[in-house]
Amino acid sequence: MSKNITKRSEDYSKWYNELVVKADLAENSGVRGCMVIKPYGYAIWEKMQAELDRMFKETGHQNAYFPLFIPKSYFSKEASHVDGFAKECAVVTHYRLKTAEDGKTIEVDPEAKLEEELIVRPTSETIIWDTYRKWIESYRDLPILVNQWANVVRWEMRTRLFLRTAEFLWQEGHTAHATEKEAIAEAEQMLNVYADFAENFMAIPVVKGFKTANERFAGAVETYCIEALMQDGKALQAGTSHFLGQNFAKAFDVKFTSQEGKQEHVWATSWGVSTRLMGALIMTHSDDNGLVLPPNLAPIQVVIVPIHKTDEQLEAIREEVKKITDRFKKLNISFKFDDRTSFKPGWKFAEYELKGVPVRLAVGPKDLENGTFEVARRDTLTKETISKEGIVEYIQDLLEEIQATLFKKAFDYREAHITEVNSFDEFKEVLEGKGGFISAHWDGTTETEEKIKDLTKATIRCIPIDRVEEDGVCVLTGKPSKGRVLFAKAY
């Protein structure tokens, strides 16, 4: 096939870049760092959105929409927030173009300069908390449980499709609460929603944890995260949920009258996942033949390819296929019957393999005679011949099995790549060897964390939520530590 991609073992990074483009997921645009998400890639994102949106609504959240632009002055109100984002802001300074004096060139009209510059949102805490001030007077107005699906811009110098782009799509939840306890419970709840989604839909096992002060969101008191492990042994942060304390309420003067009649600042959370998850999905499951998609997020779960020489044969196949696709519809199994005659079956097989369709059915004249279909699994690349009686049930079970198999494979890989180390030599050896998560003692200081990063490029991915209390000594400094944290090189 002409669609060969670089092998993972040769160059993992190149494999990823080629796969994203050749499987029609996304491509670079003419705008520096901004991607085009192609229809097939967007269809996967839409499936992710639909499941997440359902989960958000089931936990009581509503969607809303806030402005794309943030006045520069808002942005500056929360000190650590502006520090965190100032270096990567796209800034709107003018509101008009005009024809230059040559009568041809189009230029920015210098007379249309904005009084105050507008920042294209890199995240929306500031504009949202400026709005919440108007919405909140009393405890009766709380909690506010709002989510937004939006595009955001963070000016990145080195970009990669899905993983790091100047513009990306995401959802950002922003909630307001009367008590600290309730806000913390919300941040934890949303972390669990993300973990549930990652594991049960994306088939990606994740570690739930806290970020260290150094890796915390700019403006947060506590950042919770889910961390996944890619096939090259590098970690990927797949979602974060922040307990913001009263930082934004104080910066934007958002108070409420409590049940006791006192004026208090509101407690906040925010939480988000982005099109970065597409990168995680691709890198967790795919192989040298192309994309591998978990059935729960595959836009096409089953593709059916007819094998025929005559129009009569195609008609007979069509009739047989219709019987099972009618039942697929009722069972909400998504399918595509690819009866295009402009492409040969072999070309189609390669195409759907590249695109990661979980199950492929092939049916030719012999199958018609025997009353069978050829069923091929994308994940294991195995084939079976199955009788048409009961094939729908067979496929229904098979889709569930593939989903479970993909999760187990990723889980086993992850488990085999969490290594406890007790010396810095061991740390470096594992990191440069098999990679993955390194579970090590750390003295709790940002200084040590930075030093380890400088020496090894590994960062603390998280302090696992379920970590065991354990007395130990820091792998670098030998100072006392109360428990292990997870280090890794990361995307």
Which 302-341 residues touch a copy of itself, going by CB under 8 A? none
Question: Which region among 28-36, 345-353, 381-389, 407-415 touches a copy of itself (by CB under 8 A)?
Answer: 28-36
- 193's tokens: 């929603």
Alpha-carbon span 245 to 243, nearest angstrom: 6
Q: Which of 76, 246, 313, 405 binds a copy of itself (CB under 8 A)?
A: 76
Considering only residues 338 to 357 of the shown chain, the ones binding a copy of itself according to CB under 8 A are 342
Ramachandran assignment for 70, one of left (phi > 0), alpha (psi -120 to 50 degrees), beta (any other):
beta
Supply 426's token pair. Answer: 């061991």
Where residue 12 falls (left for φ over 0; alpha for ψ -120 to 50; beta otherwise) is alpha
Nearer to a copy of itself (CB atom), residue 117 or residue 182 = 117
Asked if 38 touches a copy of itself (CB under 8 A), the answer is yes
Minimum distance of a copy of itself from residue 342's CB (angstroms): 6
Please tell me what DSSP assigns to residue 160.
Answer: B
Binding of a copy of itself at residue 60 (CB under 8 A)? no
User: Is residue 127 a contact residue for a copy of itself (CB under 8 A)?
Assistant: yes
- Residue-wise over 387-425: b if at least 16 C-beta within 10 A, else e? ebeebbebbeebbeebbebbbebbeebbeebebebeebe
Check residue 108 for interaction with a copy of itself (CB under 8 A). Answer: yes
Q: Which of 17, 47, 71, 424 binds a copy of itself (CB under 8 A)?
A: 71
Shortest Cβ distance from residue 152 to a copy of itself (Å)?
9
In this chain, which of 20, 52, 136, 169 binds a copy of itself, going by CB under 8 A? Answer: 169
Question: Measured between alpha carbons, how far is 354 from 340 in angstroms, rounded to an integer?
Answer: 18
Kindly tell me which of 146 and 474 has the beta carbon lying closer to a copy of itself.
Answer: 146
Question: Would you call the peptide bond into 345 cis, given omega within 30 degrees of 0 as the criterion?
Answer: no
Position 390 contacts a copy of itself (CB under 8 A)? no
For 232-245, give one letter per residue: b (16+ CB within 10 A) or e: bbbbbbbbbbbbbb
Q: How far apart are CA 196 and CA 192, in angstroms?
A: 6
Using CB under 8 A as the binding rule, whether residue 55 contacts a copy of itself is answered as no
Stretches 56-64, 286-294, 373-381, 466-474: which one binds a copy of itself (CB under 8 A)? 56-64
Residue 368 engages a copy of itself in binding (rule: CB under 8 A): no
Contact 161, 35 (CB under 8 A): yes
Stretch that binds a copy of itself, among 62-70, 353-361, 398-406, 423-431 (CB under 8 A): 62-70
Closest CA to 334 of 309, 312, 302, 289: 302
Comparison of 126 and 212: residue with beta carbon closer to a copy of itself = 126
Element (H, E) at 138: none
Least distance (Å) between residue 229 CB and a copy of itself: 28
Q: Toward a copy of itself, which CB reaches closer, 61 or 285?
A: 61
> Does 150 sit near a copy of itself (CB under 8 A)?
yes
**Tokens 């670089």 label which residue?**
6
Can you tell me which of 4, 13, 62, 385 binds a copy of itself, judged by CB under 8 A? 62
Sign of torsion, CA 274 279 284 287? positive
Cα distances (Å, whole numbers) of residue 339 to 317, 355, 378: 10, 17, 20
Q: By CB under 8 A, is residue 80 in contact with a copy of itself? A: no
Q: Select 46 or 312, whichever has its Cβ closest to a copy of itself.
A: 46
Number of residues that bind a copy of itself (CB under 8 A): 63
Select from 24-32, 181-189, 265-273, 318-326 the region that touches a copy of itself (CB under 8 A): 24-32
Residue 186 in the binding site for a copy of itself (CB under 8 A): no
- Which member of 90, 185, 314, 418 binds a copy of itself (CB under 8 A)? 90
Sheet of 335-337, strand order? 335-337, 302-306, 359-363, 372-377, 383-387
> Tokens for 487?
């280090």
Which tokens is 74 given?
């808002």
Q: Which is nearer to a copy of itself, 148 or 439 (CB)?
A: 148
For a copy of itself, give the closer residue by CB, 16 or 42: 42
CA atoms within 13 A on the CB side of 40: 19
Residues that bind a copy of itself (CB under 8 A): 27, 29-31, 34-39, 42-43, 45-46, 62-72, 74-76, 82, 86-99, 105-106, 108, 117-120, 127, 130-131, 134, 140, 146, 150-151, 153, 155, 167, 169, 342
